[in-house]
Structure 1
Amino acid sequence: MEHQLTTNLSHKEDTQNAHTVDVLVIGAGLTGLTIGFLLALSEKKVHILEKADRVGGQIRTFREKGFIYESGPNTGVNSYPEIFELFEILDGDCIMETAREESKRRLIWKGDRFHALPSGLFSAITTPLFTLGDKFRILGEPFRAKGNNPDESVGELAVRRLGKSFLQYAVDPFLSGVYAGDPMKLVTRYALPKLYNLEQQYGSFIRGTIAKARQPKTAYDRLATKKVFSVEGGLDRLTDAMAAVIQPHHITLSAADVTIRPYADKWMATYSTADGEQTIIAERVITTTGAYTLPALLPFIPKEKMDLISNLHYAPVVQASVGFRNTGGLRFDAFGGLVPSCEKKEVLGILFPSACFAGRAPEGGALFSFFIGGVKHADLTTWPEEELKALVKRELHAMLKLPAEAEPDMIRIFRHEHAIPQYEQSSGARLETIDELQTRYPGLTLAGNIKDGIGMADRIRQATEIANEITDF
């Protein structure tokens, strides 16, 4: 109370010309925009502060020479009904695009080429990806005892239930593609909670999957099709459409030095723009920015508490978008290819966006997205741009078998220092601290990918739940 009173007195003069709102959202990425969009539809007075000069956060679409490519996320998965509902509410302002059927194939690198990840019993038996012993081992998976270590890593779980080769050639590349992370450090109940719950509730992945499939689904449940999606014309159509509904005068871009403090039973934000120092008074504040931004953003939180949140580790990633106007007849009918760590390659994987969605490359051409770095190869993300381009060109020929004389028509390099949060063992203390702080400071919500998942679907679902807590929308 003494701290709060001091804050009120020391900043009394700041509030004389303050702008007042119902809800202040920090960050105009997918989470913040979804919250703002839903609240705006519910006629809540909402304002968003964004430090960048544009909306979208990690989502950014480029259009060049007949290619449409992303510098951040390329796809989402329609994992929850909230994703379908969001597009339905937007009502044609942007259109969900589902990946083509032929792009369902997932490829895994082994030896000197890509192999299709098994999709059925016959392919699982005949694949060269897994050892014979582990192929037999999976038959015993339904009868294996469930784990009792709540902090068991995904890697430990995979070896215990499926065998080492499944870890090496299925789980490890999958986590490289999703988290750019280390399966031996990512904790299952935080990084893959659905997988963790299958074992804990049903004692087995196989038994749990069968039981889940047999459960009756409501019409609402069936909205979650589990299909890979993007947006027609690029993902920024989604973020731009939501920003348009929120309206530009309710979004402040290039907001610098944002600081949030308690103010009586409300919240005061101070920040600077080209017009000078600004102040907003809000009933509620929702942060959606990275953990590393929170110490400066919320200086009133005790350091010992903030340290438990801001120590979240992020994987750095370089994404290279590569375009060919003409592939010489070569086809790439797959979602993409992932590279196991044990194969010692310098790329994490390659996605094939033009195989998934229409219009991403000129007719007869192809668009690829290379991913480099991650937790295990963070040093590669510091390479000069020309060295990264040379690496990409080498792997185009070595991995995708493009002719030696084939030169890409476009290569664009994007660096993401804080690309993907790693839900490691520190996650338990972080989540407990977030809950404690939200109870201690009513009206403060700490959101974004510091909790509740890292995918586009996770961000939309979290945002929808937060908006629903504030309004009966």
Structure 2
Amino acid sequence: MHGPAGILLHKAANSKSLQEVKRMRVAIIGAGISGLSLAYYLQRQGIAYDLFEAGSEVGGNMRTLQKNGYTFELGPNTLQMNEDLLQLITELKLETELLPLTPRNNKRYVLHDGQLHAVPSCPKSFLSNGLFSKEDKYRILQERKQPPAEVENETVSDFFERRFGVKQMDFLAAPLISGLYGGDPRQLLVNKAHPELKELEAAYGSVLEGMVQRKKRGVFQRAFSFRNGMSTLPQAIADKLISLHLDHKVEYISRIRGKYIISCNTNGDHDNEEYDKLVLALPAHQAAELIEFTYPGLSAALQNIKYPPMAVVHTVYNRAEVGHPLQGFGALHPWEEQSYTSGSIWTSSLFENRCRPHEVLLTSYISGDRLNGQAPLDEAALLRQVHQELSETYQIKALAPVYQHLHLWCNAMPQFDLYIEDAHQMAEVLEDDGLFIAANWYAGVSVPACVREAKTIAAKINTDTVSRSIAE
């Protein structure tokens, strides 16, 4: 049960534990996957919380659209399992809803000179691959001999250039980063945007060696989704929560005598509530507005975090009109190819129930840097351009798609560049004030990273709660 009634039932059932043991209230603002996960973990620990969501739905960017018999993912298409995420899914009893990605569809492609080339996945395929010249292959293999280095403020582009060479950055890293973040790899910090690369370099002395060793140990997990789409996870968490408040817009936050005062607007009714801890589970620009007067320094730093736009286009064709077999995960489109899209995921090849059996579904991404030429955005022209590019790339004979759908994220993914460093440092210090951040601009953009950070914050709050109870 959600809302005030649920809160009363919860308080009646647990009044003794909350009053005598915990004696703490936590306000969480934002019901994306981070806020939902944190509320779930706090609830399991018996800590009183209120989760406020301005909209009528949960999940944030983790959204699935069911339309005309199709399943469209507006946010992430797949997830990579980690221990925390697996435990959460098990506790929610969602194991039977998991839809794993089959190994045969895990092959990636990259567009080069107008042709699709498979990205090498093993030494044999690397040596026989026509994507790289002999000189390129030699340079890549030399990566194992490159000594590790700690470079201050090293960008993703600089990292790949240092370890592999420019060409490899252009053909593989750039479109990958563009598709994930909608931004420029020459600006993104590698230790923030892709910390796993630095971890491999530090642990094994080489990215390639680290990948080989982890594959031998079975560290790399397969991607997966859910039968009814990615919204399954946030909705399942929401169904377990007893203090989730939808359509509750927090308009102002103040701090008086060590307490946070939350001013909330619910259908025109205004209310103020007092809390011991505050968790911002919001995009940076939204969080900045709420703490402008309470924490002006952090607010200013948050306003500097950039969120480029990104367009997600779902295109459906009759399978008989598509010349390419589409046996794989999808394809990356480097800038050098002068492609309009950053790449496409071959959704119907990953999961069979996303469209009708005689159709194929392609999910294409247009990152912020490529959208800059579309101002104002012309939806019809954008869809036509995507269809034209898909037709040329995948030998599609259809004059028009069976169906197309466009979703524009005006503020897609936070950019982990130099500006975000200040915000991270300030946020860490303010934990002493009882202010915590549970958001992808702090924890990382992946769902597993957000779940892991939510669990960490819940543990910190619980530790402080127990310490307070002992002291009192």
TM-score, normalised with respect to structure 2:
0.87
Per the alignment, residue 131 of structure 1 pairs with 133
Greater CA drift, 29-38 or 463-472: 463-472
- How far apart are 1:66 and its partner, in Å? 2.1
**Cα distance in 2 between the residues matched to 1:354 and 1:387:** 25
Which of 100, 117, 125 is the matching residue for 2:102?
100
What is the rounded CA distance, in whole Å, between the counterparts of 1:149 and 1:206 in structure 2?
A: 19
2:20 aligned residue: none
1:353-402 deviation per Cα after TM superposition (whole angstroms, max 9, x unaligned):
22112311111211111111323543437421111111121122111211
Question: Structure 1 pair 321/213, CA: closer, same or farther in 2 (3 Å)?
Answer: closer
- The one of 451, 457, 468 equivalent to 1:466 is 457
| Alignment partner, residue 414 of structure 1 | 407
For residue 231 of structure 1, the aligned residue among 226, 231, 236 is 226
1:364 match: 358
Partner Cα distance (1:184, 1:385) in 2: 29
What SS class does the counterpart of residue 451 from structure 2 fall into? helix
Of residues 64, 70, 74, the one that matches 1:71 is 74
Query: Cα RMSD (Å) of the superposition?
Result: 2.3
1:455 and 2:446 matched: yes
Report which stretch shifted further, 201-210 or 385-394. 201-210
SS at match of 1:54: coil
Deviations, residues 224-282 of structure 1 (Å, cap 9, x unaligned): 752111111111111111111114xx222233352222233332100212141022222
1:345 aligns to what?
Answer: 339
Change (3 A) 1:72 1:211: closer
**CA distance in structure 1 between the aligned counterparts of 2:316 and 2:375, rounded to whole angstroms:** 21
Task: Say whether the 8 Å CA contact 2:253–2:294 is kept in structure 1.
Answer: no
Contact 1:106 1:337 in 2 (8 A): yes
CA contact under 8 A between 2:288 and 2:298: conserved in structure 1?
no
Matches of 2:113 and 2:345, distance apart in 1: 19
The CA deviation string for residues 303-343 of structure 1, in whole angstroms up to 9 with x for no partner, is 34422232111121010112235444753221111111121
Decide whether aligned partners of structure 1 residues 356 and 21 sit closer, same or farther in structure 2, where only a CA change above 3 A counts: farther
Structure 1 Cα separation of the partners of residues 35 and 369 of structure 2: 27
In the other structure, the counterpart of 2:330 is: 336
CA contact (8 A) 2:24 2:275 kept: yes
Distance 1:143 1:395, change over 3 A: same
Partners of 2:48 and 2:269 in 1: CA distance: 23
Note the C-alpha offset of 1:187. Answer: 1.1
Contact 2:322 2:394 in 1 (8 A): no
Structure 2 match to 1:262:
255
**Aligned partner (choices 196, 199, 205) of residue 203 of structure 1:** 205
In structure 1, distance between residues paired with 2:322 and 2:371 = 34
The number of residue pairs the alignment matches comes to 441
Structure whose residues are more often helix by fraction: 2
Structure 1 residue 300 displacement after superposition: 3.4
Identity %: 24
SS of alignment partner, residue 77 of structure 2 = coil
Paired position in structure 2 for 1:316: 309
- Which segments of 5 or more consecutive residues in structure 1 lack a partner in the other structure? 1-19, 216-221
Counterparts of 1:315 and 1:370, CA distance in 2: 16
With 95-104 and 203-212 compared, the bigger mean Cα shift is at: 203-212
3-state DSSP of counterpart to 1:418: coil
The within-5 A match list for 1:174-193 is: 174-193=176-195
Is there any run of 5+ residues in structure 2 with no aligned partner, and where?
1-22, 467-472
Residue 51 of structure 2 is aligned to residue 48 of structure 1: yes
Question: Would you say 1:282 and 2:271 are equivalent positions?
Answer: no
Distance in 2 (alpha carbons) for counterparts of 1:265 and 1:123: 61
- Find the counterpart in structure 1 of residue 62 from structure 2: 59
The residue type paired with residue 26 of structure 2 is V
The more displaced of 119-128 and 89-98 is: 89-98
Q: Is the 8 A contact 2:188 2:415 kept in 1?
A: yes
- What is the rounded CA distance, in whole Å, between the counterparts of 1:92 and 1:276 in structure 2? 37
**Distance change in 2, residues 1:74/1:418 (3 Å):** same
Question: Which amino acid is 2:55 matched to?
Answer: A
- Measured after TM superposition, the shift of residue 177 of structure 1 is 2.3
- Do 1:51 and 1:254's aligned partners in 2 also have CA atoms closer than 8 Å? yes
TM-superposed CA distance for 1:213, in Å, is 5.8
Secondary structure, aligned partner of 2:62: coil
AA of the residue aligned to 2:308? A
Post-superposition Cα deviations, 1:385-444, rounded to whole Å, max 9, x if no partner, equal 111111121122111211143x322211101011011111223222111112222x1x21
| CA distance in 2 between partners of 1:388 and 1:258 (Å) | 36
In the TM superposition, what is the alpha-carbon distance from 1:44 to its structure 2 partner? 2.8
Which has the higher mean CA deviation after the structures are superposed, 301-310 or 361-370? 301-310
Q: What amino acid is aligned across from residue 448 of structure 2 in structure 1?
A: A
Counterpart AA for 1:402: I
Aligned AA (1:240): Q
Partners of 1:38 and 1:201 lie apart in 2 by 32
1:37 aligns with 2:30: no
Q: Is the 8 A contact 1:61 1:68 kept in 2?
A: yes
Hey, what does 2:426 align to over in structure 1? 433
Aligned partners of 1:109 and 1:340 also within 8 Å: yes
Are residues 368 and 214 of structure 1, via their aligned partners in 2, closer, same or farther at CA, if it must alter by over 3 Å?
Answer: closer
The Cα of 1:471 is off from its aligned counterpart by: 3.6
Equivalents in 1 of 2:414, 2:184: separation in Å?
Answer: 12
Report the alpha carbon displacement of residue 31 of structure 1 after superposing the two structures with TM.
0.7
User: Which amino acid is the alignment partner of residue 333 of structure 2?
Assistant: V
Secondary structure of 2:357's counterpart equals coil
Displacement of 1:210 in angstroms is 4.8
When residues 287 and 110 of structure 1 are mapped into structure 2, their CA distance, relative to the original with a 3 A threshold, is same
**Residue 390 in structure 1 maps to residue 384 in structure 2:** yes
CA contact (8 A) 1:325 1:362 kept: no
> How big is the shift at 1:346?
0.7
Distance 1:93 1:124 in 2: 36
- Report the AA paired with residue 418 of structure 1: N
Deviation by residue 1:37-68 (Cα, 9 ceiling, x = unmatched): 22223333222111222111112211122211
**From 290, 296, 299, the counterpart of 2:289:** 296
1:172 — aligned with what?
174
User: C-alpha separation between the residues in 2 aligned to 1:346 and 1:212?
Assistant: 35
SS at structure 2 position matched to 1:230: strand
Amino acid at match of 2:443: D
